Amino acid sequence: MDIGFATQQIIYGLTVGCLYGLLAIGYTMVYGVLRLINFAHGDLLMVSAYVAFFGIVIFSFPWPLAFAGAALITGFIGILIDRGAYKPIRKSPRISALITAIGVSFLLENLALVIIGGRPKPFPIPMLFEGSLSVGQVKLPILSIWVLAVTTVLLMIVLAIINKTRIGMAMRALSRDMETVSLMGIDVNRVISFTFALGSMLAAFGGVMWCMKYPAIEPFMGVIPGLKAFVAAVLGGIGNVTGAAIGGLILGLAEVLIVAVQPDWSGYRDAIAFCIMIFILLTRPTGIMGQKLPD
């Protein structure tokens, strides 16, 4: 395999990996504070894609406004999901919350199907994100540069929030012990809402960039990326934000490179994440950077 092709594939893998990573960070944060697999998280990618789509196509907003709107509305929907579906059953057995989460995920998908229809819609990619630079033999898509840059900046921001701010401290405390935190006089529900908002907005950024990379949007587009992002979160160590980003990158690279080396296996691409998941469970269930899941 020549260097040019390899570099090309690595860039491609990193791009996909960043998108998985953005989604995985939200998964891992919600898991950290609530110990809940928020199955609806992947669907937020679809929600943000549609919001951006309608912003640009129907309301003819300039793209920065449409993208910002997508992030805000998705963040708001994240809070809404928590308040409406998860908050009433915080004290119930874990299986109830998981079932509700599946219900919310299915509701979002089918609402989109009912309201918008199942036919995939082409996403209008703004000029700024199209085209590519040529560096030697390597073609560097502008979108990839954007994805890498945006992901890096967002990761920095999230880490700063978690490590440097009061609400971030509360999030970290919450991931250790919910009862103590509420005793300390911190408004637990506010912290949880903030976590949902932050995670959902990251998913929104991931979603908008996702549909510029794969520009056909449809109601079930978030299902597979959501599943893979969870695998990325477990791979990085569930509850750990940096781990989630790293897990995303590893998963993206693995998918792209395996198919690049073995083109015959392209049909099995969506099974790679599953194999990685099984492998982590067998060898290192705590992931690369994580601690053990408590009971």
**Residues near other proteins, by CB under 8 A:** 37, 39, 85, 88-89, 92-96, 98-100, 102-104, 106-107, 109-111, 113-114, 117-118, 219, 223-224, 227, 230-231, 234, 267-268, 270-271, 273-274, 277-278, 281-282, 285, 293, 295
What is the enclosing helix (H) or strand (E) of 145?
helix 142-164
Nearer to other proteins, 83 or 213 (CB): 83
Joined together, the tokens standing for residue 220 give: 């079930």
Min dist. Cβ of residue 251 to other proteins (A): 12
CA distance 151 to 129: 15
Min dist. Cβ of residue 230 to other proteins (A): 5
The neighbouring-strand residues paired with 140 are 133
Min dist. Cβ of residue 256 to other proteins (A): 17
Nearer to other proteins, 134 or 283 (CB): 283
Min dist. Cβ of residue 6 to other proteins (A): 26
Nearer to other proteins, 216 or 275 (CB): 275
Query: Are 97 and 36 within 8 A, CB to CB?
Result: yes
Q: Which residues contact 205 (CB under 8 A, 6 or more apart)?
A: 22, 48, 71, 150, 154
Query: Are 248 and 203 within 8 A, CB to CB?
Result: no
Nearer to other proteins, 218 or 246 (CB): 218
Nearer to other proteins, 216 or 271 (CB): 271
What is the enclosing helix (H) or strand (E) of 109?
helix 94-116
